[in-house]
Amino acid sequence: MRYINLIFLFSLASAISHAELATNVLATTVKISLPPETLFLKESNVVGYSLASASCITCHSAEYIRTQPKLTRTTWKAEVTKMKKVFGAPIPDGSIDPLVDYLVLTYGVK
């Protein structure tokens, strides 16, 4: 009987030390490094930057714009027009050119 108690005590002690081990693992500090911020459009002083920040990242993320190859003015203009006419982006006609200026300057070729 004493022998059985001894085994019981031994396994209890072992269970407790395992529990402590698990707690120590949980408390470990993990260092991570995040990729660069891509949620927003690249900052610029041109008017089109604030227009684009207000009207180009409401339906989809800025990634859609940032990951395009360097597009020409004609292609960016076609993109903005498509967003307005096909997808219903609320972009006033007068904002199209300033938007395209910003897009060509920041994500395009002249």
Q: With respect to ligand HEC, which residue has the nearer C-beta, 18 or 82? A: 82
Contacting residue, 5, 26, 36, 87, with ligand HEC by CB under 6 A: 87
Least gap, CB of 52 to ligand HEC (angstroms): 6
State which amino acid sits at residue 67: T
DSSP state of 77: H
Q: Which residue reads 């260092």 in tokens?
A: 31
99 binds ligand HEC per the rule CB under 6 A: yes
DSSP state of 86: T
80 binds ligand HEC per the rule CB under 6 A: yes
Task: Count the helices and strands in the chain (H runs, E runs).
Answer: 5, 0
Here the tokens at position 12 are: 């209890």
Binding mask 24-63 for ligand HEC (x = CB under 6 A): ----------------------------x--xx-xxx---
